[in-house]
Amino acid sequence: MVGSPQRSSVGPIAALDSAVLTGGEYEPFLSPRERTEFLQFHTPRRKGEWLAARLASKFLFLTERGGMLSASDLQRFSSATYRSVEVTRDDQTRFGIPQVRRGDQRRDVAISHTDGVACALLGDGETIALDIEQVEPRGAVFYRGNFTARERAWVEECSGNLGLNPHWTFTLLWSIKECLLKTPQYSDFSVWGMPSIDIRILSGEGDLPRVQSAMESFGDFVFLTIEAASAKGTNRWRVAVSGWQDRVITAIRGADRRTV
């Protein structure tokens, strides 16, 4: 069930597992343009993630309340109300970030999904970035190829000092880098450039065990202060972190993009 808005400067984030939508009739929740796009997807998983992302965005726009959504949460509004809210994307508008619109009202929305779970974060013109990742074991070659020596040493320290699962911690670092790639400052980087970004955690790591220990939903965020060093120089960021044992969610809310 949806909870109260997360008390953090990042704002509420709504998440929806596409498995919740199985057997339901949700196409009437889509605008005609959205329905056309939805029908272009051919695999059930891709259709489910796309639909979950749109419904989470619309629910968040209508309520400003985050948390893990249930089927009963979605029934709070009629299909006509959902249909009146549309998630659109125009690369020529607002730096290409998706927007949620209803009449003259519009909000930026950051969307991410993985392994059937989608999440959404609303913005008002500032830089927003959101990423959700599934935690899964990777081989040593992957870790050596995608993370710096300092990052690998930090993961080892967290395993010994905080009892964090190394796979979870590496996923956290990956998710932070994914968030950075979604900001204007790193828009010319690609996923292949992740090894060239070196993340240093300055504060907040002591709060990570309670995020990792969550069983199957997420609540309040913890905050990390990080430095990201790359060819662009070294920048300091405040990153919100949430998730549970097999998921990591990271979010960034920064300066007004119109001033970047």
Residues 132-182: tens digit of each pLDDT = 999 999 999 999 999 999 999 999 999 999 999 999 999 999 999 999 999
Q: Residue 22: how many CB atoms within 10 A of its CB?
A: 10
* Separate counts of helices (H) and strands (E) for the chain: 8, 11
Q: What's the angle, vertex CA 46, arms to CA 45 and CA 49, rounded to 5?
A: 85
DSSP labels, 207-229: GHHHHHT--S---S-EEEEEEEE
The CATH superfamily label for domain 13-124 reads: 4'-phosphopantetheinyl transferase domain (3.90.470.20)
Handedness of CA 12, 14, 15, 20 (dihedral sign): positive
The pTM (predicted TM-score) of the whole model is 0.90
CB 44 within 8 A of CB 144: no
> At residue 125, does pLDDT exceed 90?
no
SS3 of residue 186 by DSSP: helix
The predicted pLDDT at position 252 comes to 94
Q: For the chain, what are the domain ranges?
A: 13-124, 132-259
How buried is 160 (Cβ within 10 angstroms: 0-12 exposed, 13-18 middle, 19+ buried)? exposed
Each residue's pLDDT tens digit, 47-91: 999 999 999 999 999 999 999 999 999 999 999 999 999 999 866
Residue percentage of the chain with pLDDT more than 90? 76
Take residue 22 and report the two structure tokens written for it. Answer: 């199985």
Q: Are strands 126-134 and 67-68 parallel, antiparallel or unpaired?
A: unpaired
pLDDT per position as a tens digit, 215-241: 777 777 899 999 999 988 999 999 999
